[in-house]
Chains A and B, each alone.
Chain A
C-alpha cells in the first residue's frame, strides 16, 4: 500500500481521452518519476492529484483518504505540496515574507484572522522561516525582492516554501524546465539533499532524462493516457516499449 494510490483514473476533454484507466501506486519515501512523451497526460494526472481537475472515473487515495472533490488548499493541508513548471512565488514580496506564508499556513490552517498581531513579533514563525532559508542557502537573500532573483533561485525558494509546510508528498512538475545546465545540476543536488534529510516522498514529472535518471528510484512511463511500464531506472533504460513510445522505433 503506497502513500498515494491512483486507481482507474480516467479523464476526458470533449473527444480527447486524456487519461484512461491509470493505475499507479507511489510508495512512501521513494522518488518516483513519471515520464512520457508530450501529450501523454502527465500534467493532467498531476492536476487530478492536487484538486485542479476532477477525474471522470476512478479514485485517488492519499494515505487512505480520498482527495477527490476537495479544494486545492484542503488537499495541500492533507500533506501534498506542489512545485510548478514556472516557479509560482509571491513575487511582490521579499524572500523572507514568501517563506513566512507557508509557515503561517502550517501553524494556523487555511484561515486565521490575525489582523492586530505584528508580523515580526511572531517569533516561532520567523525562526522557522529563517531556518528554512538557511537550509536552502538563501539566508543572505532574505530581504531581496523575490521577483528580482534568478530562475534557479526562484525554484529554490519555491521548493523551500513547499518544504516549510512539512509535506509528506512533494509533487514536482518539470522542476528544471527552462533552466541553464548549472541551475539544473543545483536543483538535482538540492532534491537529493532533501531526500536524504527528510522523510518525504517525491513524485516528479520530467522531460530531462538526465534529471530523471539521477534522482528516480521508480519510473512510470505514461503514453497516450495510460501507464506503459513501471520499473527501476536500470530496466527502463533499455525497455523496448519505452524506446518505441519515445522514438517511434519499432519494438523488435
Chain B
C-alpha cells in the first residue's frame, strides 16, 4: 500500500489513528476531576506534540540514518519561524505561503551550513553546527534586529502591509492566521458526559502535515538513498572504495532534515504568529537530540514518541506545584506530608528537568534503542517463540 510493505504501512496507520484521535486519547480524565491536570488534550499542547514530532522526524533522517549528530538544528526552526511571520506581515494571513516560504528558506540555509559543516565528521561536525546555530541566535538577537526585531521577537502589527489580505480586521484588531478562511485557532468543543474534547483546526492541519512528513520519512528510510545513508554510518571507507561519494548524500540528508525543521518552525509561527531568537538557542537544538535518542534514533516511530514524551513532561509535570502536592498527600500526618512534599517537589514543577534527566539516563543505559526498544522488549515478553529471525537492527543505538 502506498509503496510501503505491510509492516511499515501498519506503523503509518497506527500513527494516523493516534494523531486523528488525539483529542480523545489525550483527554482520558473527566474535566473537573482530580486527574484532569494530566489531560494533554488541549489545542496548544497537541499542536506542539505534532510540530515537534515533525522536527524530530526530520532530525532522525540525518542523525538516525547517517549518524551525523547536528547540534544546531534549532537554527532552521528559527529561520522557518521568521520566514513564516514575515509572510504574514507582507503577504497575507494564509498559512500555505508562509509554510512554503519557511521550508524553502530553511532549505537554503541548510545548504549553506551543511556545505561547510559536512567537511568534517564526528565531534567536529557537531561543534561546527553548534557554532553556526549559536551564531544565528546571536545575530538574530543583535545585528539582524531589522529582520528579527531583536529580543522583543518578531510580531504582527496593525501597520503591516499584507498586500493580499487586510492590515486590520473590521473591528480594528490584528487578523488571525487561517487556511483559506478556516481560522487556525477555531476550536470545536464536544462535551460527552463529564468529558470535554477539543477539536482544533490548527491541530488538524499540523497533524495532516506530520502524517505526510512521516510518510515521506518512511519512504526515505526504505529507499536506496536511505540505504546509502545507513552505509555512510556503517563504513565510509568501503563506501569510497565502492565508487560512491558520501558528501552529496550527507548534504542531501542534511538539507532534507533542515527543511523538516523549517517546516516545524513555519507551523509553529502559523499557530501563533510570533518568532523569537530563543527558538534558535542551543538548548532548543539539544532538545531535539534528546527527543530522538529517547524515542529511538534510527527507528521510524521513535522520534515521534520521543517528542510527545518530552513535550508531555514539559507541560504537564511542570504544572504540578506545591499546593497540588499538598492536596495529594493531605491524607498523611503533617510532618510526613511536608517531608514527602519536600522530596517530590524537586521532581515536579520547576524541577521537572530532574525527572526528565533521570529518565533519560535510565533509558540510555538500560534501553539504548530508546522507547521503541522498550516496546519491542515488552512485545517479546508476550510472544512465545524467541524472535531471533527478526529484522536485523537497522535501529542501532547512537553512541
Task: Render A108-120 as a binary contact track against B, CB cut-off 8 A, 1 for contact.
Answer: 0111111111111
Residues of A within 8 A of B216 (CB): 116
Task: Indicate if the CB atoms of A90 and B222 lie closer than 8 Å.
Answer: no
Task: Tell yes or no: A88 within 8 A of B by CB.
Answer: yes
Task: Indicate if the CB atoms of B242 and A93 lie closer than 8 Å.
Answer: no
Contact A100 to B233, CB < 8 A, known contacts A50-B241, A111-B244, A111-B248: no
Task: Indicate if the CB atoms of A92 and B233 lie closer than 8 Å.
Answer: yes
Task: Indicate if the CB atoms of A89 and B238 lie closer than 8 Å.
Answer: yes
Task: Indicate if the CB atoms of A73 and B245 lie closer than 8 Å.
Answer: yes
Question: Which of B242, B244, B252: most chain A Cβ within 10 A?
Answer: B242
Once bound together, how far apart are the Cα atoms of A115 and B221, in whole Å? 8
Task: Tell yes or no: B249 within 8 A of A by CB.
Answer: yes
Chain B: residues with Cβ within 8 Å of the partner, total of 35
Once bound together, how far apart are the Cα atoms of A50 and B394, in whole Å? 30
- Nearest B residue to A108 by beta-carbon distance? B224
How far, in Å, is B233 (CB) from chain A's closest CB? Answer: 7
Task: Tell yes or no: A81 within 8 A of B by CB.
Answer: yes
- Nearest B residue to A145 by beta-carbon distance? B392
Contact A105 to B235, CB < 8 A, known contacts A100-B227, A114-B223, A119-B224: no
Task: Tell yes or no: A104 within 8 A of B by CB.
Answer: yes
Once bound together, how far apart are the Cα atoms of A89 and B392, in whole Å? 16
How far, in Å, is B248 (CB) from chain A's closest CB? Answer: 4
Task: Render B202-242 as a binary contact track against A, CB cut-off 8 A, 1 for contact.
Answer: 00000000000000100110111111101101110111111
Residues of B within 8 A of A112 (CB): 224
Once bound together, how far apart are the Cα atoms of A93 and B229, in whole Å? 11
Task: Tell yes or no: B396 within 8 A of A by CB.
Answer: yes
Task: Tell yes or no: B243 within 8 A of A by CB.
Answer: yes
Task: Indicate if the CB atoms of A90 and B243 lie closer than 8 Å.
Answer: no
Task: Indicate if the CB atoms of B223 and A116 lie closer than 8 Å.
Answer: yes
Task: Indicate if the CB atoms of A94 and B392 lie closer than 8 Å.
Answer: yes
Task: Tell yes or no: A102 within 8 A of B by CB.
Answer: yes
How far, in Å, is B389 (CB) from chain A's closest CB? Answer: 8
Contact of B242 (CB < 8 Å), options: A74, A97, A105, A125: A105
Considering only residues 1-34 of chain B, those with a C-beta below 8 Å from chain A are 3-5
Task: Indicate if the CB atoms of B223 and A165 lie closer than 8 Å.
Answer: no
Task: Render B109-138 as a binary contact track against A, CB cut-off 8 A, 1 for contact.
Answer: 000000000000000000000000000000
Residues of A within 8 A of B239 (CB): 73, 90, 101
Task: Indicate if the CB atoms of A102 and B242 lie closer than 8 Å.
Answer: yes
Task: Indicate if the CB atoms of B224 and A122 lie closer than 8 Å.
Answer: yes
Task: Indicate if the CB atoms of A114 and B225 lie closer than 8 Å.
Answer: yes
Task: Indicate if the CB atoms of B227 and A117 lie closer than 8 Å.
Answer: no
Residues of A within 8 A of B231 (CB): 90, 93, 101
Task: Indicate if the CB atoms of B234 and A115 lie closer than 8 Å.
Answer: no
Considering only residues 150-175 of chain B, those with a C-beta below 8 Å from chain A are none
Task: Indicate if the CB atoms of A76 and B240 lie closer than 8 Å.
Answer: yes
Residues of B within 8 A of A91 (CB): 234-235
Task: Tell yes or no: A82 within 8 A of B by CB.
Answer: yes
Residues of B within 8 A of A74 (CB): 243
- Nearest A residue to B232 by beta-carbon distance? A90
Task: Tell yes or no: A22 within 8 A of B by CB.
Answer: no
Once bound together, how far apart are the Cα atoms of A201 and B325, in whole Å? 78
Task: Indicate if the CB atoms of B245 and A101 lie closer than 8 Å.
Answer: no
Task: Tell yes or no: A239 within 8 A of B by CB.
Answer: no
- Nearest B residue to A121 by beta-carbon distance? B3
Task: Indicate if the CB atoms of B3 and A118 lie closer than 8 Å.
Answer: yes
Task: Indicate if the CB atoms of B243 and A92 lie closer than 8 Å.
Answer: no
Residues of B within 8 A of A93 (CB): 227, 230-231, 234, 392, 394
Considering only residues 238-282 of chain B, those with a C-beta below 8 Å from chain A are 238-245, 248-249, 252, 256
Task: Indicate if the CB atoms of A76 and B243 lie closer than 8 Å.
Answer: yes
Contact A101 to B228, CB < 8 A, known contacts A76-B241, A88-B238, A92-B394: yes
Residues of B within 8 A of A102 (CB): 242-243
Contact of A71 (CB < 8 Å), options: B237, B245, B392: B245
Once bound together, how far apart are the Cα atoms of A116 and B248, in whole Å? 16
How far, in Å, is B104 (CB) from chain A's closest CB? Answer: 18
Once bound together, how far apart are the Cα atoms of A145 and B244, in whole Å? 22
How far, in Å, is B277 (CB) from chain A's closest CB? Answer: 32
How far, in Å, is B251 (CB) from chain A's closest CB? Answer: 10
Task: Tell yes or no: A77 within 8 A of B by CB.
Answer: yes
Task: Tell yes or no: A233 within 8 A of B by CB.
Answer: no
Residues of B within 8 A of A109 (CB): 243
Task: Tell yes or no: A20 within 8 A of B by CB.
Answer: no
Task: Indicate if the CB atoms of B241 and A88 lie closer than 8 Å.
Answer: yes
Contact of A115 (CB < 8 Å), options: B223, B240, B243: B223
Contact of A110 (CB < 8 Å), options: B4, B226, B244: B244
Residues of B within 8 A of A113 (CB): 225, 252
Besides A76-B241, A115-B220, A161-B238, 14 other CB < 8 A contacts?
A71-B245, A76-B240, A77-B243, A88-B241, A89-B238, A90-B234, A91-B234, A91-B235, A93-B392, A101-B231, A104-B224, A112-B224, A115-B252, A118-B223
Binding site for A on B (CB under 8 A): 3-5, 216, 219-220, 222-228, 230-231, 233-235, 237-245, 248-249, 252, 256, 392-394, 396
Binding site for B on A (CB under 8 A): 50, 71-74, 76-77, 81-82, 84, 88-94, 97, 100-102, 104-106, 109-122, 125, 143-145, 161, 165
Sample of 15 A–B contacts (CB below 8 Å): A73-B242, A77-B243, A88-B238, A90-B231, A91-B235, A92-B233, A92-B234, A100-B224, A101-B239, A110-B248, A114-B223, A115-B225, A116-B216, A118-B219, A125-B224
The 10 closest A-B pairs by CB, nearest first: A76-B243, A92-B234, A115-B225, A90-B234, A111-B248, A145-B392, A110-B245, A72-B240, A88-B238, A77-B243
